[in-house]
């Protein structure tokens, strides 16, 4: 297994490879002013060519970079899937920053497909909480075919930008002090699904009171189905918010099984 750490600003000049002997502990990162990608490649004998770009959550104020990012690498690598964890620029009211970073990450993965052993036709996006909003935004607002995800994996996502249905802090971080009704509608991603939106799996907890993600997840699932997009929804009875790949999540084993099963359906 190899990891690759890429600073977008210097990607044309330098890419460093390091062998990883152990995984970084769960942690959070704040004050992100420049995007960074960390790429975890599976062993050659396991490689399926599939890749996932992961967007950790944190209300667009920081990144739960461990349990919603780096710590997922062993799971995906065991399945022969490359994991690319994106430390995207925080918006601070400028929504274009994380969107541009996520689209750039999708394009970079495809541009590096031959070098990294990736099938450019099998690159998905994953997001948790506010990262789920970013991932679903790329899935529904992609600016060109080369940045369109082939599938999406969403954990307890913020989907709606309506503060009454989504998450006030995520809304404020994304838009700034105020947002027009038109912008709220545009980035309420359950309202933007169509036949070009990629297939999805959505996983959340029924008792998630912090972000109301069960309602967000159900609305997005219904919108995908109405658009004719294959979609799977798992709502666990407990767990609240932010469990990621933590083993302390009561339904951790079942969740991994559900995700593994879905990954083998296409």
What's the pLDDT tens digit per position in 19-49?
A: 222 233 344 444 446 789 999 999 999 999 9
Dihedral Cα 125, 131, 133, 139, nearest 10 deg: -10
Q: Report the CATH number at residue 233.
A: 3.40.50.1820
Whether 259 maps to a domain, the answer reads: yes
pLDDT at 170: 87
pLDDT at 8: 53
pLDDT at 259: 98
Whether 142 maps to a domain, the answer reads: yes
Whether 33 maps to a domain, the answer reads: no
The pair phi, psi for residue 164, each rounded to 5°, is -75, -20
pLDDT at 166: 73
* Location of structure tokens 């998450």: 167
User: How many Å apart are CA 122 and CA 219, to the nearest integer?
Assistant: 26
Instruction: Identify the CA nearest to 54 among candidates 123, 115, 7.
Output: 123
Whether 5 maps to a domain, the answer reads: no
On whether the CB atoms of residues 252 and 221 are closer than 8 A, the answer is no
What DSSP character marks residue 94? -
pLDDT at 2: 66
Whether 1 maps to a domain, the answer reads: no
Cα R_g (the chain), whole angstroms: 17
pTM for this model (two decimals): 0.89
pLDDT at 213: 85
Q: Which residues contact 142 (CB under 8 A, 6 or more apart)?
A: 103, 106, 148, 149
Domain count, the chain: 1
Whether 134 maps to a domain, the answer reads: yes
User: How many Å apart are CA 144 and CA 159, to the nearest integer?
Assistant: 21
* Helix, coil or strand: residue 87: strand
What DSSP character marks residue 8? G
User: How many Å apart are CA 245 and CA 260, to the nearest integer?
Assistant: 13
Whether 2 maps to a domain, the answer reads: no
* Location of structure tokens 């083998």: 264
Range of the domain at 96: 38-264
Q: How far apart are the first and last CA of the chain?
A: 24
User: How many Å apart are CA 123 and CA 106, to the nearest integer?
Assistant: 8
Each of the 266 residues of the chain gets a pLDDT tens digit; together they read 666 666 554 333 223 222 222 233 344 444 446 789 999 999 999 999 999 999 999 989 999 999 999 999 999 999 999 999 999 999 999 999 999 999 999 999 999 999 999 999 999 999 999 999 999 999 999 999 999 999 999 999 999 998 777 788 888 889 998 899 999 999 999 999 999 999 999 999 999 988 888 999 999 999 999 999 999 999 999 989 999 999 999 999 999 999 999 999 99
Whether 9 maps to a domain, the answer reads: no
User: How many Å apart are CA 131 and CA 88, to the nearest integer?
Assistant: 9
């Amino acid at each position: 297994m190899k990891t690759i750490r890429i600073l977008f600003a210097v990607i044309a000049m330098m890419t460093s490879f390091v062998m990883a002997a152990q995984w970084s502990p769960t942690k959070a990162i704040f004050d992100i002013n420049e995007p960074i990608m960390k790429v975890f490649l599976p062993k050659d004998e396991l490689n399926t060519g599939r890749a996932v770009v992961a967007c950790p959550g944190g209300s667009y104020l920081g990144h739960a970079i461990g349990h919603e990012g780096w710590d997922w690498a062993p799971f995906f690598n065991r399945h022969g899937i490359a994991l690319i964890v994106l430390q995207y620029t925080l918006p601070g009211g400028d929504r274009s920053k994380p969107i541009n970073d996520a689209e750039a990450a999708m394009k970079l993965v495809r541009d590096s497909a031959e070098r990294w052993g990736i099938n450019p036709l099998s690159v998905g996006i994953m997001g948790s909480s506010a990262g789920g909003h970013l991932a679903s935004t790329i899935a529904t607002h992609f600016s060109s075919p080369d940045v369109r995800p082939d599938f999406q994996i969403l954990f307890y996502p913020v989907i709606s930008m309506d503060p009454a249905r989504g998450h006030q802090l995520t809304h404020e971080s994304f838009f700034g002090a105020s947002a027009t009704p038109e912008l709220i509608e545009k980035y309420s991603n359950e309202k933007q699904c169509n036949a070009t939106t990629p297939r999805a799996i959505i996983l959340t907890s029924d008792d998630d009171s912090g972000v109301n993600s069960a309602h967000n997840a159900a609305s997005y699932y219904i919108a995908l189905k109405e658009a004719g997009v294959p979609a799977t929804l798992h709502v666990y009875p407990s767990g609240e918010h932010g469990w990621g790949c933590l083993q302390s999540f009561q339904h951790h084993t079942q969740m991994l099984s559900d995700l593994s099963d879905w990954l083998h359906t296409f």
